[in-house]
């Protein structure tokens, strides 16, 4: 049965299959509609900003503070999560992808500055539709970083053909696929080999896009859980730490932070009143790797630089990597230079053995192994 076909059930299994098909089709359409709306919204915001920079009668009054002032005014009107950095990104998005104009409905084009109904350039409306309908704004934001129009066009085509996820797009750009393709004798073979193990996009991955969070006004914790098992383990870990005395004060779950151009999510954030520092907890449903502890060290360093205030001690991190029937705990102390403080936090924080024992027991219970 094709994805766009739903058979009429004639037995119980057929009924279940039909309901599943209806659910998946509706979810796919909903996710696609959200992403299209988000992309068009961001493009149109960028269009209005750029046109104002060119022709606004009072533009000189705001000058370099334009983005900050717009963000402040929008916040007062209840339009949240549109910060100056994102407004600049939308302006640059409009400049880079002017051809998306071709994907707009006549009604939307009428609302553009100057009521410009013409489709500029030589790109067909069909290709503009592909950009909007088959790539999310996060894809397009990554493509904007390409340093030439030719490279960007290459990755656009490869991304659409291979239905790459955003993570796969980043990986292929980092692997210099464009440059390797230019040097390759058999470009078709290289493309086929590239897509053999490529991570493709899915509605579930799309809805977890940070830009979608902002667009829909969702809290990260509402949609970021990797699985029911992970959520349950985080619940257990959160309760365990809070029960270990008055030192731990809960602050956030799935705390979103921005490092460079990337958003990251810290599973649990506490403030420890006795140690006077933040405690960051990261849970991985996989074996320990140096990449895991390196990422947590990055979070710890970011908190030390951006959140720590006068009177606070350096933040610490707890990394819990868990495989079936086994857990491993490591502490991250990237920002610490005092051996005395390291010794002190070892007395106040739960031991590795206790955390491992509790999480292993909880995982077995959840998986029906206890």
Per-residue model confidence as pLDDT tens digits over 7-44: 677 788 888 888 888 888 888 888 888 888 899 999 99
Instruction: Tell whether 197 is covered by a domain.
Output: no
**Whole-number Å distance between alpha carbons of 321 and 283:** 6
Residue at a domain's end among 88, 121, 154: 121
Instruction: Tell whether 203 is covered by a domain.
Output: no
Q: What percent of the chain has pLDDT over 90?
A: 25
Closest CA to 273 of 349, 355, 335, 354: 349
Instruction: Tell whether 195 is covered by a domain.
Output: no
Instruction: Tell whether 312 is covered by a domain.
Output: yes
**How much is the average pLDDT of 275-298?**
87
Lowest-pLDDT choice from 42-46, 155-159, 246-250, 332-336: 332-336
- What HEC string does 322-356 produce? EECCEEEEEEECCCCCCHHHHHHHHHHCCCHHHHH
Residue at a domain's end among 121, 143, 170: 121
Listed in order, strand segments (DSSP E) in 21-179 are none
Instruction: Tell whether 168 is covered by a domain.
Output: no
Which of the pair, 227 or 307, is modelled with greater confidence?
A: 307
Output the domain CATH number for residue 335: 3.40.1350.10
Instruction: Tell whether 262 is covered by a domain.
Output: yes
Q: How many domains does the chain have?
A: 2
State residue 123's pLDDT score.
42
H or E segment and range at residue 263: strand 262-272
**Whole-number Å distance between alpha carbons of 275 and 345:** 7
Query: Which residue range is the domain that position 347 belongs to?
Result: 224-366
**What does the block give as tokens for 184?**
């390759």
Q: Do 228 and 354 belong together in one domain?
A: yes
State residue 225's pLDDT score.
47
Which tens digit of pLDDT belongs to each residue from 130-140?
889 889 998 99
Which of the pair, 368 or 263, is modelled with greater confidence?
A: 263
Instruction: Tell whether 69 is covered by a domain.
Output: yes
Instruction: Tell whether 196 is covered by a domain.
Output: no
Residue at a domain's end among 71, 98, 121: 121
**Whole-number Å distance between alpha carbons of 206 and 209:** 5
Q: Do 343 and 228 belong together in one domain?
A: yes
In 11-65, alpha helices (H): 12-55, 59-62
């Amino acid at each position: 049965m094709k994805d766009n076909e739903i058979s009429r059930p004639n037995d119980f299994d057929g009924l279940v299959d039909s309901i599943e098909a209806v659910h998946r089709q509706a979810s796919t359409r909903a996710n696609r509609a959200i992403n299209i709306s988000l992309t068009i919204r961001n493009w149109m915001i960028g269009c209005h900003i750029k046109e104002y920079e060119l022709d606004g009668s009072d533009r000189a009054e705001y000058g370099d503070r334009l983005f900050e002032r717009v963000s402040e005014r929008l916040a007062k009107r209840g339009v949240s999560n549109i910060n100056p950095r994102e407004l600049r990104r939308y302006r640059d998005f409009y400049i880079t992808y002017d051809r998306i104009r071709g994907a707009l409905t006549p009604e939307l084009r009428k609302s553009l500055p100057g009521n410009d109904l013409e489709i500029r350039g030589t790109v067909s409306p069909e290709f503009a539709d592909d950009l909007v309908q088959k790539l999310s704004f996060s894809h397009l934001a990554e493509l904007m970083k390409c340093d030439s129009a030719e490279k960007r066009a290459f990755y656009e085509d490869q991304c659409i053909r291979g239905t790459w996820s955003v993570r796969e797009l980043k990986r292929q750009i980092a692997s210099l696929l464009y440059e390797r393709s230019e040097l390759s004798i058999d470009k078709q073979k290289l493309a086929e080999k590239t897509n053999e193990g490529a991570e493709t996009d899915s509605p579930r991955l799309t809805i977890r896009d940070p830009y979608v969070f902002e667009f829909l006004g969702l809290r990260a914790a509402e949609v970021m859980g990797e699985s029911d098992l992970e959520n349950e383990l985080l619940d257990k870990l959160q309760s365990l730490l809070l029960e270990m005395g008055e030192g731990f004060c809960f602050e956030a779950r799935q705390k979103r932070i921005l490092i460079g151009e990337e958003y990251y999510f810290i599973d649990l954030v506490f403030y420890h009143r006795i140690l006077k520092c933040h405690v960051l907890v990261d849970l991985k449903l996989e074996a320990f790797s140096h990449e895991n502890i390196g990422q947590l060290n990055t979070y710890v360093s970011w908190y030390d630089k951006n959140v720590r205030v006068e009177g606070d001690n350096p933040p610490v991190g707890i990394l819990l990597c868990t495989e079936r029937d086994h857990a491993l705990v490591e502490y991250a102390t990237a920002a610490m230079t005092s051996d005395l403080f390291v010794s002190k936090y070892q007395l106040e924080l739960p031991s590795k053995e206790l955390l491992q024992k509790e999480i292993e027991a909880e995982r077995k219970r959840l998986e029906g192994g206890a």
